[in-house]
Amino acid sequence: MFDQVYQNMTLSGKSSSTFQNYIRTIASISLYFKKIPLELSDDQINDYLLLLKEKQNTYVLVVVKERWL
């Protein structure tokens, strides 16, 4: 699976660091759901990415609040 992803990313001009970040993200999602990558559904991946987005926005709000108070 990863060889094919690496090949596709390389052919589309992505850097090796992009591939490494992709693999790290997939590993994080797999650990979160306690499933191997091939068992993850699109909905689970989207749910996890939304969770990260919301968590990031929460962190930004906390930092902004602390800075201005």
Residues of the chain with pLDDT under 70: 57-69
What is the model's pLDDT at position 59? 55
- How crowded is the C-beta side of 39, counted as CA atoms within 13 Å? 8
Rg (CA), the chain: 16
Q: Where are the domains of the chain?
A: 2-68
Q: Taking a C-beta distance cutoff of 8 angstroms, is the pair 5, 22 a contact?
A: yes
What is the model's pLDDT at position 58? 61
Q: Taking a C-beta distance cutoff of 8 angstroms, is the pair 48, 32 a contact?
A: yes
